[in-house]
């Protein structure tokens, strides 16, 4: 990995589920030494054991990224365990959906604090550590295609992903003269993770992922590839590439299409009582996937394949 003399020491935030968990397992498969960060200690220990089963060294560091002192303790944990931090990956994020005028201010603020200021806190600590170890290290922040375009009913999440992208671009400019420090950004399409299973929701209808949805492991492999060959920004997913091109060619048209199509894709018809989800306290599930690829596959198969009972009835009528 980019000439590291030994197995690199990697800090991964949001490691208890989703992209963060998939990334931890991907680095563990390459025998990296990982520090796993999340709010729920028990969930992190499960991932620690999974990494160790792959032959990697792993330690857990429960922390809330909105607390800068807690993020400093992540550095302390990494230095105590491995003596350095070679790669810092920011994956932690929460999601709140609903009309902006209905969103509670404290819930909106919590999304900003977790998704953006959590990334800022992590970047500050990571870059400080890179400076102390000879101006050497890789910072990988996770944004989204929604860091390039809006989506109705997800304003706090979209705002943070724009902010992460702009913030990371600023860091690249400031460290342009430091060749040993690389600052990268990952922008995936909709990913099959549990974020949709535990989001905050005040819209009144049950939320789901949009489609098509890509596997978290695909994003994780992209992140690992950035540790081997750092690049400034990487879009993940064919749909993301197509939309990014369309945004350059016809931004107003894309905005109108998304305004009309996104709510139908993002929500089911079932009623959902207001919930803060995992905004203020960690909740499961803590898996890599949220089951959304299977969800959309099942619905597609029912749409395109006639009901078997109807086929049997037609066959019987034909025989008679």
| pLDDT tens digit at each of 320 positions of the chain | 666 668 999 999 999 999 999 999 999 999 999 999 999 999 999 999 999 999 999 999 999 999 999 999 999 999 999 999 999 999 999 999 999 999 999 999 999 999 999 999 999 999 999 999 999 999 999 999 999 999 999 999 999 999 999 999 999 999 999 999 999 999 999 999 999 999 999 999 999 999 899 999 999 999 999 999 999 999 999 999 999 999 999 999 999 999 999 999 999 988 999 999 999 999 999 999 999 999 998 887 776 555 555 555 654 565 55
Return d(Cα 13, Cα 94) in angstroms, integer.
12
Which of the 8 DSSP states describes residue 284? S
The 10 Å Cβ neighbour count of residue 112 is 17
Q: Are 29 and 229 in contact (CB under 8 A)?
A: no
Return d(Cα 241, Cα 231) in angstroms, integer.
16
pLDDT of residue 35: 98
Q: Are 199 and 156 in contact (CB under 8 A)?
A: no
Closest C-alpha among 281, 261, 65 to residue 160: 65
Q: Which residues pair with 235 in a beta bridge?
A: 187
How far does CA 232 lie from the centroid of its chain? 18
pLDDT of residue 299: 84
Phi-psi region of 49 (alpha: psi -120 to 50; beta: other; left: phi over 0): alpha
The answer to whether the pTM exceeds 0.95 is no
Return d(Cα 169, Cα 246) in angstroms, integer.
22
Please list, in sequence order, all residues whose beta carbon lies within 8 angstroms of the beta carbon of residue 76, skipping any fewer than 6 positions away. none
pLDDT of residue 301: 76
pLDDT of residue 4: 66
pLDDT of residue 53: 97
Q: Which two tokens stand for residue 17?
A: 């589920």
Write the class of the CATH domain 9-319: alpha beta
Torsion angle, alpha carbons of 204, 207, 210, 216, to 10: 150
pLDDT of residue 314: 54
């Amino acid at each position: 990995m980019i000439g590291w003399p030994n197995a690199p020491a990697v800090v991964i935030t949001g490691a208890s589920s989703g992209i963060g968990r998939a990334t931890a397992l991907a680095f563990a498969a390459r025998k990296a030494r990982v520090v796993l960060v999340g709010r729920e200690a028990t969930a992190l220990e499960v991932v620690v054991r999974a990494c160790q089963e792959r032959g990697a060294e792993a330690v857990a560091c429960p922390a809330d990224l909105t607390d800068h002192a807690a993020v400093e303790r992540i550095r302390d944990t990494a230095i105590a365990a491995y003596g350095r931090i070679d790669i810092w990956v920011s994956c932690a994020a929460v999601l709140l959906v609903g009309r902006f005028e209905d969103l509670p201010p404290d819930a909106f603020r919590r999304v900003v604090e977790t998704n953006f200021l959590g990334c800022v806190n992590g970047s500050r600590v990571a870059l400080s550590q890179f400076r102390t170890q000879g101006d050497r290290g890789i910072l990988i922040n996770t944004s989204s295609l929604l860091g390039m375009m809006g989506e109705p009913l997800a304003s706090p999440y979209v705002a943070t992903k724009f902010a992460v992208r702009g913030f990371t671009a600023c860091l690249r400019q400031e460290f342009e003269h430091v060749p040993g420090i690389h600052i990268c950004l990952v922008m995936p399409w909709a990913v099959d993770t549990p974020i949709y299973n535990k989001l905050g929701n005040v819209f009144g209808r049950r939320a789901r992922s949009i489609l098509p949805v890509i596997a978290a492991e695909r994003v994780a492999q992209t992140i690992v590839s950035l540790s081997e060959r750092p690049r400034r920004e990487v879009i993940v997913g064919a749909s993301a590439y197509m939309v990014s091109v369309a945004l350059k060619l016809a931004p107003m048209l894309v905005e109108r299409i998304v305004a009309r199509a996104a709510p139908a894709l993002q929500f089911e018809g079932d009623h959902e009582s207001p919930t803060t989800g995992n905004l203020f306290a960690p909740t499961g599930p803590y898996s890599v996937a949220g089951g959304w690829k299977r969800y959309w596959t099942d619905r597609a198969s029912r749409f395109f394949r006639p009901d078997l009972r109807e086929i049997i009835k037609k066959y019987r009528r034909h025989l008679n």
